[in-house]
Structure 1
Amino acid sequence: MFGVLLVNLGTPDAPDAPSVRRFLKQFLSDPRVVDLSPWIWKPILNGIILNTRPAKVAKLYQSIWWDEGSPLMVISQRQREKLAIELSSLYGHEVPVELGMSYGSPSLSQGLERLKAQGIDRVVVLPLYPQYSCSTVASVFDGVAGVLKSWRRLPDWRMVREYYRHPLYIRALADSVRRLWDADGKAELLLMSFHGVPLRYITEGDPYQAQCQETARLVAKDLGLGNDEWQVCFQSRFGKEEWLTPYTDELLESLPGKGVKKVDIMCPAFSADCLETLEEIAEGGKESFIHAGGEQYRVIPCLNDDDGHIRLLAELVREQSLGWQVG
């Protein structure tokens, strides 16, 4: 019997400084996320960052927090429920699906233990990161392996490494753009803003940048866009190290001066709306663009629990479970 562990980054339990501090400590202590020497990084993290950032970040979370809880967690629960229904329809019987977050709760351990309690001996681990990066997908691998090394009996497990060019993923992204354009027309420029990573990661062999570019190219092709009608950019940089460019915030500030007054923006690397899309892009990005002289700024939601997205996730599970007896 097999089940699915649906994985995302995670979220603080509450939009307050203590919760954010706990979350940031776990997140920023992961050497896959920050690969500096611990002798250098730990004093900075514990002495400066964890004493200054939690209160500021908590205010940002408060600005986007829903009545039901963290947007990322609420959407992840909806994804889990819909994926379970889709898989049950696909296989003709119940397929357990559990959440496991890389940081925060429910943890990877809790998700795997819940599957184990249901008699699962084969697991498809599905990280909700379309593009591979050592700081995301590899971190999930580390986390799952770290949990399983304490189990007496190991399950057979497979993990989705990437799906940046999967036809159903590209179609779902393009359809999300079409829905906006069919209802309200097309802007002058479509921006595809991906989460950034340090440039050094790319020079050391991480394929993330190339996969982001390929995703964007395929979406633009599906939409029939010319080269001057779309652009890739990168958001959420942290620290003083050079990250992938162009930076989303700087690009938004520059566009009105180049005559681009109307933009639509989407975040293809995010499978669920969260702080980085709802605050950084929807609120901060709009403020930057309009303040610089822009006239129209529209944000296309993440795929979230859209039916096309759920069909994609079910297909990824089906592809990974090929060869298993699934009854």
Structure 2
Amino acid sequence: MSETEMSQKEKVAVVLFNLGGPDSLEAVKPFLFNLFNDPAIITVPNPLRWFLAKLISARRAPFARNIYREIGNKSPLLEQTQDQARALQDKLNQSGESDYACFISMRYWHPFSDETVEKVKAFGPDRIVLLPLYPQYSVTTTGSSLIDWNKKAQKAGLSVPTQIIRDYPVDKKFIAAHVALIRDKLNGIQNPENYRLLFSAHGLPKKVIEAGDPYQKQVEQTCAAIIEKLGETGLEYITCYQSRVGPLEWIGPSTENEIDRAGEDRKNLIIVPVAFVSEHSETLVELDIEYREFAEKAGVMDYVRVPALQCQPDFIDSLACQVLGTKETN
């Protein structure tokens, strides 16, 4: 391809949104402050929200540091998101029709959206695609990230045609990625009728859902689509929710209660992190360590955990289809 042809190629910046995570034990407390100071998380006005964020982050930091000590003294989320960004960029550039560059924007720790806005400006895109790594939409995740990005982009004078990928809970290749990982685990299991499939998603306060947030409905749509694609397995399945914090009533059933019920019913468990696309504290500690120990005490004989999607080829294909506009639903 000549230099003239290359210069005529459309330049597209793809911005991957994710939560972010502390990159050291020292970063745990400020990370938590950023999380709880988000008006999408604590819906009270400042200065009260700022005060509550300071109080909660100070109280939770010692406990949270112990969690991160279990997984190498930091969150692995950034490195995994970088792997996903590289895989997606390679996939998008295979056609050669446009020049795609993938960027990462984290909500509560580096790289923050203002840092990423500057990198995108330096790239000089003809258009931007905002792609959340949250398959199911919530105002507390995708919604918060979009608001923050728009503020920082406007402040920096980044005015480029922008496409927003809002959600993809039943995208055909996204579902296929989950199915492939579940089947990998099922291949090593005899008598699947003795197992129960638990789809575990991060929970939300019930008031968020009652206010119209589609997250719970979309999580359930994802689970139903996975079961349909899996076909006849003999497995029962339940959608449940983990990671409850604070005094508010949360959506349910809770993952802990379903693990306890499985023990009472003498069922083994296959756990699927259905709303997480990367491994982090909620999977590597909560699911792999804390809930496994809870399952043993509850009498669950076999506890199998399906990995998060990460760079599973069907998932990367799914992300590429979102960007290219060739997505399919089941």
TM-score by length of 1: 0.91
Match of 1:135 in 2: 140
Match of 2:20 in 1: 10
Contact 2:28 2:64 in 1 (8 A): yes
CA drift of 1:39 comes to 5.6
Distance 1:312 1:44, change over 3 A: same
Distance 1:164 1:64, change over 3 A: same
Contact 1:159 1:320 in 2 (8 A): no
Match of 2:322 in 1: 316
* Equivalent residue in structure 2 for 1:301, among 285, 307, 314: 307
| Structure 1 letter corresponding to 2:15 | L
Aligned counterparts of 1:250 and 1:41: Cα–Cα separation in 2:
31
Match of 1:89 in 2: 94
Contact 2:244 2:250 in 1 (8 A): yes
CA drift of 1:37 comes to 4.3
Aligned pairs for 1:1-327 (under 5 A) are: 1-14=11-24, 16=25, 18-38=26-46, 40-47=48-55, 49-65=56-72, 70-92=75-97, 94-185=99-190, 186=192, 188-225=195-232, 229-260=236-267, 262-319=268-325
Match of 2:5 in 1: none
CA drift of 1:38 comes to 4.0
Aligned counterparts of 1:72 and 1:196: Cα–Cα separation in 2:
19
* Consecutive unaligned residues in structure 2, runs of 5 or more: 1-10
Aligned counterparts of 1:152 and 1:36: Cα–Cα separation in 2:
29
- Classify the secondary structure of the residue corresponding to 2:217: helix
Q: What do residues 98-134 of structure 1 show as CA deviations (whole Å, max 9, x unaligned)?
A: 1111111011122222121112131101110011111
Contact 2:88 2:320 in 1 (8 A): yes
* Consecutive unaligned residues in structure 1, runs of 5 or more: 322-327
Aligned counterparts of 1:193 and 1:79: Cα–Cα separation in 2:
22
Distance 1:156 1:93, change over 3 A: closer
Aligned counterparts of 2:151 and 2:45: Cα–Cα separation in 1:
21
| Structure 2 letter corresponding to 1:282 | D
Contact 1:273 1:304 in 2 (8 A): yes
Match of 2:7 in 1: none
| Structure 2 letter corresponding to 1:13 | D
- Classify the secondary structure of the residue corresponding to 1:90: coil
| Structure 1 letter corresponding to 2:302 | Q
Q: What do residues 206-261 of structure 1 show as CA deviations (whole Å, max 9, x unaligned)?
A: 1111111111111011112579611100011110111010011122123211221x
| Structure 1 letter corresponding to 2:296 | I
- Classify the secondary structure of the residue corresponding to 2:100: coil
Aligned counterparts of 1:116 and 1:307: Cα–Cα separation in 2:
30
CA drift of 1:197 comes to 0.6
Aligned counterparts of 1:174 and 1:91: Cα–Cα separation in 2:
30
Aligned counterparts of 2:260 and 2:315: Cα–Cα separation in 1:
32
| Structure 2 letter corresponding to 1:64 | I
- Classify the secondary structure of the residue corresponding to 2:41: coil
Q: What do residues 274-324 of structure 1 show as CA deviations (whole Å, max 9, x unaligned)?
A: 111111111111110111111000110100011111111111111189xxx
Aligned counterparts of 1:36 and 1:13: Cα–Cα separation in 2:
28
Distance 1:227 1:109, change over 3 A: farther
| Structure 2 letter corresponding to 1:28 | F
Contact 1:84 1:94 in 2 (8 A): no
- Classify the secondary structure of the residue corresponding to 1:123: strand
Distance 1:188 1:94, change over 3 A: same
Aligned length: 315
CA drift of 1:201 comes to 1.0
Contact 2:14 2:128 in 1 (8 A): yes
Match of 2:8 in 1: none
CA RMSD of aligned residues (A): 1.9
Q: What do residues 32-86 of structure 1 show as CA deviations (whole Å, max 9, x unaligned)?
A: 1221344654433323x222211210110110138xx632112111101111111
